[in-house]
Amino acid sequence: MKITIITGSAHKNGTTAYLTEQFIKGAEEAGHKIFRFDAAFKDVHPCIACEKCHGDAKVCVFKDDMTELNPHLLESDAIVLISPIYYYDINAQLKTVIDRFYANDALLHGGKKAVLMLTMADDTIESAEGALASFKGMTNFLEWDVAGTVVGVNCWTLDMLKKTDYPEKAYQLGKSL
Ligand SMILES: Cc1cc2nc3c(=O)[nH]c(=O)nc-3n(C[C@H](O)[C@H](O)[C@H](O)COP(=O)(O)O)c2cc1C
């Protein structure tokens, strides 16, 4: 199976980066092929709703790093979204990439698995409800099958995350896809 992972955090050694590594370890052990796109280190312009991609041009007006990601998105059997919670939602870097899926809406519909992994400082899952709700709406719309979620509460820092079983859950999820 080919898997595209899109991360949002700018922390190269942060909590979500660690979950990402654990997921990749499990997925590679299971024989899956990974493409990883770290949105915080890429040039991705926010969608401006010009609708050119849905008009005659059929392509996005922005020629940025989405041109690197798009072929992988289209080919992949599974899409994995990984973000810290920022103000009760996924962070802007990841959301900017997701909004740009719009240019390929029709081609992205159906036939994919989806995973969401989140971390946050708060010790209640309620702080992730916004992110979980948009993931549910988006996967319903795109007709993707949700293969699993990992929501790391009380994980402000990497040390806090390492004391939990979330890394193991990420590893097992990667392995089970
Ligand atoms: C701008 C910003 C907003 C945040 N908002 C929240 C929040 O609403 N709820 C929460 O529990 N944690 C919040 N956090 C904490 C992060 O989610 C948490 O530290 C996370 O582990 C960071 O992940 P990373 O190390 O992968 O970047 C926020 C952090 C930042 C920098």
> For a pocket test of ligand 1, which of 20, 85, 126 has the largest count of ligand atoms closer than 8 A to its C-beta?
85
For 40: left if phi > 0, alpha if psi spans -120 to 50, otherwise beta; the answer is alpha
Residue 126 CA, chain-centre distance (Å), reads 20
CA neighbor of 17 nearest in space, from 131, 119, 134: 119
Ligand 1 pocket check for 14: Cβ under 6 Å: yes
Q: Summarize the confidence of residues 128-152 as an average pLDDT.
A: 98
Q: How many domains does the chain have?
A: 1
> Confidence class of residue 58 from pLDDT cuts 50, 70 and 90?
confident
Residue-level pLDDT at 90:
98
Token code pair at residue 166: 């979330």
C-alpha 123: how far from its chain's center?
22
How many Cβ atoms sit within 10 Å of the Cβ of residue 58? 11
Both tokens of 37, joined, read 């796109």
Ligand 1 atom index nearest CA of 152: 21
pLDDT at 7: 99
Region of 103 on the Ramachandran plot (φ > 0 left; ψ -120 to 50 alpha; else beta) = alpha
Give the domain CATH number at 139. Answer: 3.40.50.360
Does residue 174 have its Cβ closer than 6 Å to ligand 1? Answer: no
- The predicted pLDDT at position 56 comes to 84
Residue pointed to by tokens 């390492």: 162
Task: Check: pTM over 0.85? Answer yes or no.
Answer: yes
Domain extent at residue 160: 2-176
Determine the Cα–Cα distance for residues 9 and 99; give it in Å rounded to an integer.
17
Is 76 close to ligand 1, i.e. is its CB under 6 Å away? Answer: no
pLDDT one-digit tens code per residue, 11-27: 999 999 999 999 999 99
Does ligand 1 come within 6 angstroms of the Cβ of 85?
yes
Note the pLDDT of residue 97.
98
Handedness of CA 88, 129, 132, 152 (dihedral sign): positive
Give the pLDDT band of residue 57 (cuts 50, 70, 90). Answer: confident
Asked whether 84 lines ligand 1 (CB < 6 A), one says yes
* DSSP letter assigned to residue 40: G
Q: Is 87 in the pocket of ligand 1 (CB under 6 A)?
A: yes
H/E stretch holding 67 reads: helix 66-75
Helix (H, G, I), strand (E, B) or coil at 13: coil
Tens digits of per-residue pLDDT, 86-97?
Answer: 999 999 999 999
**Type of residue numbered 149:** T
Residue 171 — pLDDT band, cuts 50, 70, 90? Answer: very high
